[in-house]
Amino acid sequence: MGDQQALIEAAREARKHAHAPFSHFHVGAALRGRDGRITGGCNIENASYGLTVCAERVAIFKAMSEGQREFDAIAVVTDADRLTPPCGACRQVIWEMCGNVEVVLANLKGQVEVHRMKDLLPLPFDARSL
């Protein structure tokens, strides 16, 4: 639970940097590499909504741009009453870049659920599909 709590806390901290002037829905994510390094990310909105980037993808791209390639968990934190799972685009990116990692969903009220990517994306499209 300690490792999970550190991941949730990193996602909470990343959430504070969210840029969400349109939706006001602030999301933080934290990705843990197999070496223990944690990389945070937050959602960054754009007036052209299609250019908005979710917190999960920011964390993944940031970690990869810093040389990390192996991951074991990602946490997603929001202030919603209902825990917020990754969107479809993020599920695809998480699967391709991180594999069947643990996905920790949490909110600011202390609710926590843990899932595996294979359960959130049961029939993935990946390189094996090509």
| Catalytic (active-site) positions | 56
29 bridge partner residues:
41, 76
Planar angle of CA 120, 108, 105, nearest 5 degrees: 15
Phi-psi region at 4: left, alpha or beta (left = phi > 0; alpha = psi -120 to 50): alpha
Residue type present at position 72? D
